[in-house]
Amino acid sequence: MANHLIKLNDKQFRLYIPHSELQQAIEKIARKINADMEGKNPLFICVLNGAFIFAADLLKEISVDCEITFMRMKTYEGLHSSGRIKEIQPLEVDIKNRTVIIVEDIVDTGFTICRIKEYLSDLSPKEVKVATMFFKPDVLKCDLTLDYVAREVDNKFIVGYGLDYDEKGRNLKDLYILNEQ
């Protein structure tokens, strides 16, 4: 599997992190969330589309009383963050006085999470935490605290495990990285 290559649209990607490692990283942050969230009945907010697989795997490891809902927004086109945040669809759940945990696929520049945090803060929650599957520490451009990071990654374009390249690759169980020639 070490040199496993795949092609999505016009680009080639190579295996980067196998699913077993992703699963271990998730179990580790889930233990921390379970310890921190005892008695808080947190509301997990899964950011669609990218976080759907991470949210499913993470929530299976959560043992405290909790709820989950979904929100949607989109910024990426092709291989680069456009920096322009598209409209956030209104949340369907009242988060007043609740502990909420944003569940995100990846934090790159951080603009998306910052924007979501701003939006949620206006709805008077008790506290807002962030859980992200992947984090590119070299690219972060805003002042942001990430409470739960499953796995740091290199500053390269990645796909799989919910992440897409122009909507392709979200279904891949393992994580792949752009293979630059």
Q: Which residues bind ligand IMP (CB under 6 A)?
A: 50, 75-76, 81, 104-112, 157-159, 163
Q: How far is the CB of 64 from ligand IMP (least distance, A)?
A: 26
Choose the contact partner of 76 out of ligand IMP, Mg ion, none; CB within 5 to 8 A by kind: ligand IMP
Q: Kindly write down the DSSP assignment for every residue of 73-127, as one continuous string.
A: ---EETTEE-SPPPPPPPPSS--TT-EEEEEEEEESSSHHHHHHHHHHHTT--SE
- Determine which one of 10, 57, 108, 154 is catalytic: 108
- The two beta strands, 76-77 and 80-81, are antiparallel
Catalytic residue list contains 108: yes
Q: Tokens 């490692």 appear where? A: 21
125 sits near Mg ion (criterion: CB under 5 A): no
Q: How far is the CB of 141 from ligand IMP (least distance, A)?
A: 8
Choose the contact partner of 22 out of ligand IMP, Mg ion, none; CB within 5 to 8 A by kind: none
Interface positions, 35-54, toward Mg ion (CB under 5 A)? 50
Q: Which stretch binds Mg ion (CB under 5 A): 22-30, 101-109, 122-130, 137-145?
A: 101-109
Report how far residue 55's alpha carbon sits from residue 62's, in angstroms, rounded to the nearest whole number.
Answer: 10
Q: Are 126 and 98 in contact (CB under 8 A)?
A: yes
Comparing every residue's Cβ against Mg ion, the nearest one is: 50
Q: How many CB atoms lie within 10 A of CB 107?
A: 24
Q: How far is the CB of 139 from Mg ion (least distance, A)?
A: 14
Q: Are 48 and 167 in contact (CB under 8 A)?
A: no
Q: Which residues are part of the catalytic machinery?
A: 108
List residues binding Mg ion (CB under 5 A). Answer: 50, 105
